[in-house]
């Protein structure tokens, strides 16, 4: 019954589709809807234990999609399908669902098997960042505040060292020393973040290879998938 209600909310007849688990993600619950006539969609339940504000994800993605539709209409940007009520997400029993087009002929890999795959994935992330470079940032909001705040993370690391037991410090000594050796990265991050010459930019910020769709057979890059994760760098 739950599946019927959710699928119907997006204007589809549940009787025409088979539903099965899809992908290798660990956060959201993702399903593939396969229709009798060959049509396919990706149905996803957003994990609200991780993403406290699902509407932020939806708004970020819609803002990016609308901008790209004007600036680069030929660019493939996967945009969720609205509900019959015109909403970006369907809320059912306090669960948030979205429907995403399935890209025929595409594939993803969890790790690069050859240099071609790695190159094409990197190129797609770079292409999306370049095309979104001029977008108005005022409407965007970080999906998980401070999740990618390196200054905050490094400060927490230093606090952990100060409060750790002597036994734990001895056990982790080599690892701690190795991380302390990279402290200049955190310093550089803070300098860039607070510099007036380094403006906020939209970014995906989960640039792992399985967040890029590749063409089956040729491994040519097709597009970036998954959500626009975080927005302002600061």
**Which pLDDT score, from 0 to 100, does residue 99 have?**
95
In a domain, 230, yes or no: no
**Which pLDDT score, from 0 to 100, does residue 2 have?**
57
**Which pLDDT score, from 0 to 100, does residue 225 have?**
87
34 with 114, same domain: the answer is: yes
7 with 75, same domain: the answer is: yes
117 with 215, same domain: the answer is: yes
186 with 215, same domain: the answer is: no
91 with 172, same domain: the answer is: no
In a domain, 112, yes or no: yes
In a domain, 166, yes or no: yes
Where does residue 62 rank: exposed (0-12), middle (13-18), buried (19+ CB within 10 A)? Answer: middle
**Which pLDDT score, from 0 to 100, does residue 228 have?**
43
pTM of the predicted protein model: 0.84
100 with 55, same domain: the answer is: yes
47 with 92, same domain: the answer is: yes
In a domain, 154, yes or no: yes
51 with 85, same domain: the answer is: yes
113 with 176, same domain: the answer is: no
Tell me the CATH number at 220: 3.30.200.20
In a domain, 186, yes or no: yes
Number of structural domains the chain divides into: 2
Alpha-helical (H) ranges within the chain are 2-9, 54-71, 115-131, 150-163, 166-171, 173-180, 183-194
Question: What CA–CA distance (Å, rounded) separates 93 from 3?
Answer: 12
In a domain, 233, yes or no: no
**Which pLDDT score, from 0 to 100, does residue 193 have?**
86
21 with 81, same domain: the answer is: yes
Compute the chain's Rg from CA coordinates: 21
**Which pLDDT score, from 0 to 100, does residue 13 have?**
93
16 with 99, same domain: the answer is: yes
67 with 32, same domain: the answer is: yes
In a domain, 37, yes or no: yes
Range(s) of the domain holding residue 158: 150-194
Alpha-helical (H) ranges within 72-149 are 115-131
What are the average pLDDT values for consecutive 10-residue runs of the chain, which has 234 residues? 85 92 82 92 93 94 95 94 97 95 91 95 95 93 89 94 95 95 93 88 87 94 71 33
In a domain, 168, yes or no: yes
């Amino acid at each position: 019954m739950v599946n019927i209600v959710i699928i119907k909310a997006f204007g589809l007849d549940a009787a025409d589709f088979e539903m099965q688990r899809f992908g290798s993600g660990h956060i959201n619950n993702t399903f593939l809807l396969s229709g009798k006539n060959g049509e396919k969609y990706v149905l996803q339940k957003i994990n609200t234990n991780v993403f406290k504000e699902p509407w932020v994800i939806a708004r970020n993605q819609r803002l990016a999609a609308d901008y790209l539709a004007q600036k680069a209409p030929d660019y493939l940007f996967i945009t969720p399908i609205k509900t019959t009520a015109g909403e970006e997400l369907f809320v059912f029993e306090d669960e948030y669902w979205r429907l995403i087009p399935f890209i025929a002929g595409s594939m993803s890999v969890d790790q690069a098997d050859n240099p071609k795959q790695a190159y094409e994935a990197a190129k797609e992330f770079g292409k999306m960042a370049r095309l979104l470079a001029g977008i108005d940032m005022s409407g965007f909001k970080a999906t998980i505040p401070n999740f990618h705040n390196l200054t905050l993370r490094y400060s927490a690391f230093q606090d952990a060292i100060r409060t750790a037991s002597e036994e734990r410090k001895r056990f982790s000594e080599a690892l701690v020393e190795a991380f302390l050796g990279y402290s200049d990265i955190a310093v550089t991050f803070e300098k860039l973040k607070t510099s007036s010459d380094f403006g906020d930019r939209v970014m995906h910020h989960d640039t792992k290879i399985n967040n890029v769709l590749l063409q089956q057979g040729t491994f040519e890059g097709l597009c970036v998938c998954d959500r626009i994760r975080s927005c302002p760098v600061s």
